[in-house]
Amino acid sequence: MFKGSNVALITPFKNNELDVDGYIKLIHLHLKNGTNGLVPAGTTGESPTLSHKEHQEVIQLCIKESNGKIPVIAGTGSNSTEEAISLTKYAEKVGANGVLIVTPYYNKPTQEGLFQHYKAINDSCGIPIIIYNIPSRSVIDMSVDTMARLYELKNIVGVKDATGDLNRVDQQKKKLGKDFIQLTGNDDNAFEFNKRGGVGTISVTANIAPKLCSDFQKFSVSKSDNEQKEAERINNILQPVHNSMFIESNPSPVKYAAKLLNLCSDDVRLPLVKVTESTKEIIKKVLISANLI
C-alpha cells in the first residue's frame, strides 16, 4: 500500500490562518498527477507550529478530499508520547491508512526509550505505523536493532529513512527482511535508495513536481531497461530542484516554489521565515530549467 511517490504535503497559510481552499486545491493536484500517497501534518506541513485543532483539521481534510483514492499517511508524531497517542488515535478514527511517527526530538531518549515510546503508541491503536528516523532534526538516530525489535510489534510496518546513509537501506533489509517498507525521506538519493531495496519516497519536491516525481518512482522500480533510462533522465532533471528545496530550512523554499506555480502563498509560521532574495533567484532558475514554469 505504501510505495512510490508520497508527498509530504505543505500546509498553506493565509494571514497566519490555515488556507482551507488552498489546501484542498493542493490535494486535488496530487490526485490528478499520479501521486501515490498523501502525508499531511509532517515536518514539511509545519506540524510543530500547528495547533492541536489545526493538526486534526489538516488530517481530516486530507482524508475527506482524497476520498479513498490514494492512501493517507498522517503525521502524528510528538516528543510527548501521550500527545502522539492522542493524534494517532484521532487519525485512525477519521480513516487514515497509516501514520508517520517521528523519533522524539529534544528529549534525547535512549534506544530503550525509543522502543518504549513506539510500543506505547503501537499498543494504543490498530493502524499501520511508519517510523520517521531523521537524526538531523531530532538529534537521535534509531538503530537497526531497535527498528528490528519494533518490527515484531503488530502495527510497525516500515520506516521513512532520512539519515541520508544509503548503507542503512542494505542493513535494514538484511535485518528486517524485504517486506519491511523502506521509504526515503531524501529526494536526492531516491534512485539509489530504490535500487538497494527501497520502495519509494516521502517527498518534498512532489509538492511542486507531482507528475515528474510519480513518473520517476514508477520507472525507477521497473525491470525494463528503457524505463530505467527514463527514470535516470527524470532524476537528472529533478536533482537541481531537490537541491534548491533545501538551500534554506524546509518548507520555506518549497512554499516559495509553490507560490511561483500559483499553488498557494509562501507564508510560513515563525520561527521559520520566507526565503531570501538570493534563494528566490536560484529557485526561479531551477524551476525554469526543469520546465516547471
Catalytic residues, which ones? 132, 160
Q: Rounded to whole angstroms, how far apart are CA atoms 37 and 45?
A: 15
Please state whether the peptide bond connecting residue 104 to the residue before it is cis, i.e. omega within 30 degrees of 0. Answer: no
Strands 17-18 and 13-14: antiparallel
> Which grid coordinates belong to 172?
535494514
Q: Which three cell numbers stand for residue 229?
A: 533510462
> Contacts from 252-257 at CB under 8 Å and sequence distance 24+?
253/279, 253/283, 254/10, 254/44, 254/204, 254/205, 254/207, 254/208, 255/10, 255/12, 256/280, 256/283, 257/207, 257/208, 257/283, 257/287, 257/292
On whether the CB atoms of residues 193 and 220 are closer than 8 A, the answer is no
Peptide bond into 251 cis (omega under 30): yes
Written as one string, the DSSP assignment of 187-249 is GGGHHHHHHTT--EEEESGGGT-HHHHHHHHHHHT-S-HHHHHHHHHHHHHHHHHHHHTTSSS
Q: Give the CA angle between residues 103, 108, 110 to the nearest 5°.
A: 85
Residue in the block written with cell 510500543: 119
Compute the distance between CA of residue 72 and CA of residue 63 in angstroms, rounded to an integer: 6
